[in-house]
Structure 1
């Protein structure tokens, strides 16, 4: 019998450094979707490491992003994704017809203290939960 199961939706989170917002969003979606969505993140000018304050803020809520590394945004990553969420990367993200694009206006956690990063983390969680309910209704 042929496999007629639809492929999993895929989401790409993009910010400039792929060190804070996009890593937290990818961490939330991976945690909340539990394998039902393919999750990617990338940056237009990746940093050399994930923001340690973002790592700590996510650890506080039981989401481990310590193994993540900032990755450079590629055309292939955009092409392979159904939904592309940008977070302040401007025009660096290539646009392809048929993709769903959203731009999430979020403060950059770079250089911010844990209290500010917690607020960004919690804002991202609400947005990720909404996205999840749209991609996997029911």
Structure 2
């Protein structure tokens, strides 16, 4: 499950050009995972978004500084960003949903046709 947390970004997250559709949905910035074990920068990288680990507190799950998810997402009518996240280190693709609400992010990463999912909450770094 720790690897799934990376996918939901340690996600976290998403597609620069397609984000213009809704102010408030852009997850760009530096985020802290609510368990206190990750600081992640989300920024545009080409037509996708990249979530890059800036700091990892507990590396026992294999997460390292510099690990990156490349996310291709599109805004949905409900304000969520939905698409895929590719973990280059593990050569694995996840389904991902990102919701920005009240200044916080919630990412949901899923495997196996959305049978195995995990939600992770993020707060903006100060």
Query: With structure 1 as the length reference, what TM-score do the two structures score?
Result: 0.32
Q: Which has the higher strand share?
A: 2
Query: Higher RCO, 1 or 2 (CA under 8 Å, sep at least 6)?
Result: 1
TM-score under structure 2 length normalisation: 0.34
